[in-house]
Amino acid sequence: MPLGLYISVPFCRSKCSYCNFASDVFSRAVFQRYVDRVCADIKNASRTAEQMAGRFERTVDSVYLGGGTPTILDITQLERLFVTISQNLELLPDTEITVECAPGTLTPAVLEALQRCEVNRVSLGVQSFVDTEAASVGRLHKRATVVDDIARLRAAGISNVNIDLIAGLPHQTQESWEFSLAESLASGVPHASVYMLEVDAGRGSRIWALAWMRTRCWRRMGTSRTGEGARRTQEGTTLCTLGTTT
């Protein structure tokens, strides 16, 4: 049976306040050491399996580069991962090759590298199409960035795009949530994943305090708001209560 290969790249531009993943902000020197180690592990996978009295299946039908934010690696590091995979594993002809991408990290150079690496699916961490909501939990992109990223992916021949959304974000209202859903449908992407915001007992007040501070900064900076949903949210802000989130 073919393998599904998942590689985590645990580096991000900033740490989102809701995020429980093993990911954080690190120096670029750490990126190189991590990529070196992952490549060594891929090369040694057969031997490692033998040492554990197992057998390593070299055939692969899906590759997923997740995170974290794989698209903040240097181009050479990104390509080295894929070269190591293709040199040491046997990718079946229809292998789905996915890379997770934070909107705004898809530079022209990264997009070209994804094409060279034959990436055929991209998962965008959108979370919300309402700028205030995204900013309140530490996301660095705006709605316009997402729309632009999707258009450039399509133009580059990568139309299999997933977008992640979070329900229950600070400042989210029923109207603003419906706006994000409508924008998702209008974007024409074939898949969207919806997650509920999970708030554990120790972090709930921190998430909302950070959301309050970030929203104040965002407004003071006079950032232009994009989209009808952002205006609606501004008029009718309703904070989700902890009891309605899981």
Provide the binding-site residues for ligand SF4, judged by CB under 6 A. Answer: 12, 15-16, 19, 21, 23, 67-69, 102, 125
Helical packing angle, 75-88 and 108-116, nearest 10°: 10
| Residue indicated by tokens 């180690």 | 37
89 versus 122: smaller Cβ distance to ligand SF4: 122
Closest residue (Cβ) to ligand SF4? 19
Cα dist from 67 to 70, 92, 150, 211, whole Å: 6, 24, 20, 23
Looking at the Cβ atoms of 60 and 135, the one nearer to ligand SF4 is: 135
Q: What residues contact residue 19 under an 8 Å CB cut-off, 6+ apart?
A: 12
The string over 59-77, giving b where at least 16 C-beta atoms fall within 10 Å of a residue's C-beta and e elsewhere, is: ebebbbbbbbbbbbbebeb
State the nearest-atom distance from the C-beta of 213 to ligand SF4, in Å: 17
Element (H, E) at 87: helix 75-88
Instruction: Output the smallest distance, CB 48 to ligand SF4, in A.
Output: 27
- Collapsed DSSP state (helix, strand, coil) of residue 147: helix
Minimum distance, C-beta of residue 26 to ligand SF4, in the bound complex (Å): 11
To ligand SF4, the closest distance from the beta carbon of 21 in angstroms equals 5
Compute the least distance from the CB of residue 17 to ligand SF4, in Å: 9
Is the Cβ of residue 185 or residue 213 nearer to ligand SF4 in the bound state? 213
Decide whether 8 or 86 has the Cβ nearer to ligand SF4.
8
Minimum Å gap between C-beta 116 and ligand SF4 is 24
> Strands of 59-67's sheet, edge to edge?
3-9, 59-67, 90-101, 121-127, 161-167, 191-196
Instruction: State the DSSP H helix or E strand holding residue 75, giving kind and residue range, or none if neither.
Output: helix 75-88
When the beta carbons of 89 and 170 are compared against ligand SF4, the nearer one is: 170
* CB nearer to ligand SF4: pick between 95 and 127: 127
Question: Can you spell out the DSSP letters for 42-73?
Answer: HHTHHHHHHHTT-----EEEEEEEEES-GGGS
